[in-house]
Amino acid sequence: MKGYLCLQDGTTFEGKASRHFDRNVQGEVVFFTGMTGYQEVLTDPSYKGQIVVFTYPLIGNYGINDEDGESEEIQVSGVVMYQCTDVPSHFQARKSLGTYLNEQNIPYMTEVDTREVTKAIRAEGTQQAALSRGTDYLFQPTKGHQIQQVSGEKIETYGEAGMHVALIDFGWKKSILNALLERGVRVSVLPFSKVEMLDTLQPDAIVLSNGPGDPKDTVDVLPLLKKALEKFPTFGICMGHQVIALAFGGDTTKLTFGHRGANHPVKDVVSGKVFLSSQNHNYVVKEDSLNGTPLVTRFYNVNDGSIEGLMHDSKLIMSAQFHPEAHPGPKDAEWLFDNFLTLVKNKGVKTHVS
């Protein structure tokens, strides 16, 4: 059965439709360049409502396991691939990728020239698209405030002892929680809409999580959040990084087609070292907007020069646009968790700047 990927600019791509192509789905179309990590991508709340195009031609080779999901369900609206392996080969595999998508009624297409789709996105930018049975799809108005669609409603605590960290939930990934728990930290996951509860929790530090959509959707909580940032040692990841910039008077802007993949080179201005990172974001902090704020650049992207991380000039506040928990992707940046927690234990203030 034929299916179509219809871009809002009028471009269409034909492919083979999955069995759950009985309904049209619309979402922002993005491409992911990693060779592995498809299970993490599909379940990452930062991809909520998006149609993901996998540029690597062979997807699903090692199947789906019980360990690598970043949330309890698939978050994307649809998937586009060149090939989806029917018979995976890995000792941890529990099912095929196709079976996994079908079980959760997620439509997907195969036999699509994903290189051409990627070229179209790079040329015209990230845009709305649809997986459709025909080429005459009528685009619907889009819904805003995606963070509200993935953030929880209650405080949940994990771990029993150790340093207490509040994880502000903008759409957190399981691997961020695991990275903290593996370091002996007790974690309270706090919905972003309940930031005022930080004074009750009195954590040793806070971590601002990743999340989908526009960071400016958090504008209502920025005043409260800034007070918390000035009180507690803070580490922001992806969306959390952007929110820190906004809280201190910086600004964000949307990239043409975003950064999504597992091999983005990042340079640390403190050490001078370059490392590879896993990334998934549409928005970036505008460098000139930091003038007059207490924030300075800590990391930048080697490919396009965009800001990849910040630090406060006097307080223990640091951030990363990339994902140091590294699922999927290399573990080059995982040291940031150890660095941050060590500074918190030592009550470091300026030590992370020098």
**Is the backbone peptide bond immediately before 141 cis, with ω within 30 degrees of 0?**
no
The annotation status of 56 as a binding-site residue, yes or no, is no
The pLDDT assigned to 193 comes to 93
pLDDT at 188: 98
Q: Which residue has the tokens 């698939």?
A: 74
116 is known as an active-site residue: no
What type of residue sits at position 82? Y
Q: Is 280 annotated as a binding residue?
A: yes
201-216 average pLDDT score: 97
- Residue 179: both structure tokens together: 């990275």
Active-site annotation holds for 323: yes
Domains of the chain with bracketed CATH: 2-132 (3.50.30.20), 149-346 (3.40.50.880)
Residue pLDDT, tens place only, 285-316: 999 999 999 999 999 999 999 999 999 999 99
d(CA 145, CA 313): 31
Q: How far apart (Å, rounded) are the C-alpha atoms in residues 308 and 99?
A: 36
**Annotated binding residue at 239?**
yes
Position 334, amino acid: E
73 is annotated as an active-site residue: no
Smallest CA-to-CA distance from 59 within 94, 22, 101 is with 101
Give the residue from 241, 67, 265 showing the smallest Cα distance to 170. 241
Burial class (CB in 10 A: 0-12, 13-18, 19+), 302: middle
pTM (2 decimals)? 0.95
Q: Please check if 151 is assigned to a binding site.
A: no
Question: Which of 47, 29, 43, 19 minimizes the C-alpha distance to 107?
Answer: 19
Tens of pLDDT, residues 3-23: 999 999 999 999 999 987 878
Active-site position among 6, 40, 70, 238: 238
How much of the chain exceeds pLDDT 90, in percent?
A: 93
d(CA 56, CA 53): 9
Query: For all residues of the chain together, what is the average pLDDT?
Result: 95
Distances (CA, A) of 23 to 17, 29, 131, 144, 337: 11, 17, 8, 22, 42
Q: Is the pLDDT of residue 351 over 50?
A: no
pLDDT per position as a tens digit, 187-196: 999 999 999 9
- The kind and range of the H/E element at 279 are strand 274-285
